[in-house]
Each structure stands twice: as structure tokens, then as C-alpha cells.
Amino acid sequence: MGDRGILPSIMALTLLSGCAPSMQREVAAVTQSNSVEEVRSAAAEFVSAFNALDQSRFDALWADDASVFFPQPPFPIRRVDGKIEVIAWFKRFMDSQRSAGKSPGVDPKQLHIQAAGSTMAIVTFHLGDDPKAVARRTLVYRRDASGWRIVHLHGSALSAK
């Protein structure tokens, strides 16, 4: 190849290596943007399945190692661990709602998504418009081979007197 073949190759590689960080940032931004939209879709599915009291759709949204801090009765006021126990408590609630002919009517306000890399995300929102009753939800998602699954839900509810 001689010196004439090596020098242009070295120059081309040098130029390309200078572009690599900005290309990596662009790829990361696109990946993060895609992740945020996927998580937004997963959160919408959570709300839709919950409001429809669709147990099978709802159950599929949870990771095996899920945990939940429920905000108030009829749920336990403690952390519930594991998908089986989490969905058992939600099943009791959904069954009672169905029996009463009700729907939870969850309508997220100010939904915010924070991507934590390409495999974790945090979704936060609040419920209702009553300034004297604050209800907040935080969903932590993790991407696995099946898609985005909820690994933790933290619910809080406060009433101002």
C-alpha cells in the first residue's frame, strides 16, 4: 500500500473519530426520545387497563419483582412486594369496582416522563383538580425482553383540612 495509502486512511479515521462523539449523542437522543414515547404508551396502557377494569391487560404490565406503596384503603398501607401479591390486591379492588358498577376514572394530570438510560424510566402525575386533596402517583418502569414493565408504583394521598 505504501505511504500514500496509509496517510489518507489515517486522516479519514482521524476525521471520523472526531465525529463519533456527536453521532453517539444524536443516537442517544433518538434512543431516549423513542424510549420516552414507548414509556408514554406503556403509561397510557396502564391507565386504560385500570379504568376498563381489564384484569388480564393490567396484570401483563407488571414485572415479576414489582412493589407498590398503596396510598390509602381499601389497599394495605404498607409496601406490597412481588407481582402475585400486587395484582391480587388490584384484583380485589377491580372486583369491588365491577360489583358496584363503577370505574376508577383515573385521569392523569401533568404527566411527566424521565428516561434513565434506555432501560429505566420514571412516570409521575397527579390525580384530580381538588386543591384540598392531593393524590400523586409515581410509576417506575424497566424495559425487559417483553417491553416496558412496572417495577414500582408509589401512590400518595393527602387531604388538607
Q: Is the dihedral of CA 90, 124, 158, 81 positive or negative?
A: positive
pTM of this prediction exceeds 0.75: yes
The confidence band for 19, taking pLDDT boundaries of 50, 70 and 90, is: very low
Specify the higher pLDDT residue, 26 or 96. Answer: 96
How are the residues of the chain apportioned to helix, strand and coil, as percentages rounded to the nearest 5? 45, 35, 20
Residue with the three cell numbers 410509576: 139
Class of domain 33-159: alpha beta
The pLDDT assigned to 5 comes to: 55
Nearest to 151 by CA among 74, 56, 52, 42: 42
77-126 pLDDT per residue, tens: 789 999 999 999 999 999 999 999 999 989 999 999 999 888 999 999 99
Torsion-angle region of residue 2: left (phi > 0), alpha (psi -120 to 50) or beta?
left
